[in-house]
Amino acid sequence: NHWGYGKEDGPYLWHTNYPIAKGNRQSPIDILPHEALHDPSLGPIILKYDRCTSSNITNNGHSVVVEFDDSDDRSVIQGGPLDNPYRLKQFHFHWGGKGCCGSEHTVEGNSYASELHLVHWNGVKYKTFGEASTAPDGLAVLGIFLEAGDDHRWLHMITDALYMVKFKGSVTNFKGFNPKCLLPSSLHYWTYLGSLTTPPLHESVAWIVLKEPIVVSEKQLSKFRMLLFTGEEEDQRIRMENNFRPPQPLQGRKVRSSN
């Protein structure tokens, strides 16, 4: 079931192998702040990343992923729309080409340069990530927009490691990184029920999208674009960029706002 972001295998063709692509709770979406329902019962997002344990960084042919040891509840997100603590499994990014677009969620039709996804799973109700990833309340993904501007003081920890995972299928040690350093100052958010934004597109995600972007430099963004979709053994070298799915129909869903 090869899929990608190109003309021959991109988001508009995913429905052929993944019919859920035309489902009624697909992600990403275009967020309209004025239509979001302010819900005073929505508490703050609580991130308990202190005993954080990143293990490695890998190029999976679709994005660059930092994986975590999720064998216990040491790094969790809770509060907000969530009934349980959800365990941090991995984080990864989506980005554009030179200068334009790149984020998956948009705000009033506007894209950011990139979007960071921190993927968590409901370890209280489900035994494994795989099991949770197919359950309607299985996953919680925290989305953070990246806006082009000044250098981000901690993102270099990631961009400096990207040369080690240039090719699809490469992985390298990446211990002790705490993604708390990638958060903006405000944790105000929009939340709605949606899906994975890449195949298998399971409709299992409670999306929590932070309103405030973090600022990273064009130079830092350009390092993501030196990654390749292709493996070391392949003749063709295809630059990893524009690995984002466009916004999907809201299908009557309500987006709630923390405030």
Ligand X SMILES: NS(=O)(=O)c1nc2c(F)c(F)c(F)c(F)c2s1
Q: Which residues are catalytic?
A: 62
Choose between 94 and 152: whose C-beta lies nearer to Zn ion: 94
What b/e readout covers 209-238, taking b as 16+ CB neighbours within 10 angstroms?
Answer: bbbebbbbbeebbebbbebbbbeeeeeeee
Q: Which residues, numbered 125-164, are part of the site for ligand X (CB under 6 A)?
A: 141
Site stretch for ligand X (CB under 6 A), options 36-44, 46-54, 80-88, 197-205: 197-205
Residue 222: what are its φ and ψ, rounded to 5°? -65, -25
Site stretch for ligand X (CB under 6 A), options 29-37, 41-49, 76-84, 190-198: 190-198
- Max distance between CA atoms of the chain, in angstroms, equals 55
Q: Is 198 in the site for ligand X (CB under 6 A)?
A: yes
Q: Is 117 in the site for Zn ion (CB under 5 A)?
A: yes
Closest listed residue to residue 142, CA positions, set 83, 182, 173: 182
**What does 159 bind: Zn ion, ligand X, none (CB cut-off 5 to 8 Å by kind)?**
none
Q: Is 202 in the site for Zn ion (CB under 5 A)?
A: no
**β-pair type (37-38, 256-257):** parallel
Least distance to ligand X, CB of residue 198, Å: 4
How many CB atoms are located within 10 Å of the residue 74 CB? 16
| 171 Cβ contact partners less than 8 Å away, ≥ 6 residues apart | 56, 57, 58, 59, 165
Q: Is 26 in the site for ligand X (CB under 6 A)?
A: no
**Residue of 47, 66, 113, 119 interacting with ligand X (CB under 6 A):** 119
**What does 196 bind: Zn ion, ligand X, none (CB cut-off 5 to 8 Å by kind)?**
ligand X
Choose between 141 and 216: whose C-beta lies nearer to ligand X: 141
Least distance to ligand X, CB of residue 62, Å: 8
Q: Which residues, numbered 85-104, are part of the site for ligand X (CB under 6 A)?
A: 90
Q: Is 197 in the site for ligand X (CB under 6 A)?
A: yes
Site stretch for ligand X (CB under 6 A), options 18-26, 192-200, 213-221, 248-256: 192-200
Least distance to ligand X, CB of residue 141, Å: 5
Least distance to ligand X, CB of residue 89, Å: 6
Q: Is 230 in the site for ligand X (CB under 6 A)?
A: no
**What does 204 bind: Zn ion, ligand X, none (CB cut-off 5 to 8 Å by kind)?**
none
Choose between 93 and 177: whose C-beta lies nearer to ligand X: 93
Size of interface with ligand X, in residues (CB under 6 A) = 8
Binding site for ligand X (CB under 6 A): 90, 117, 119, 141, 196-198, 200
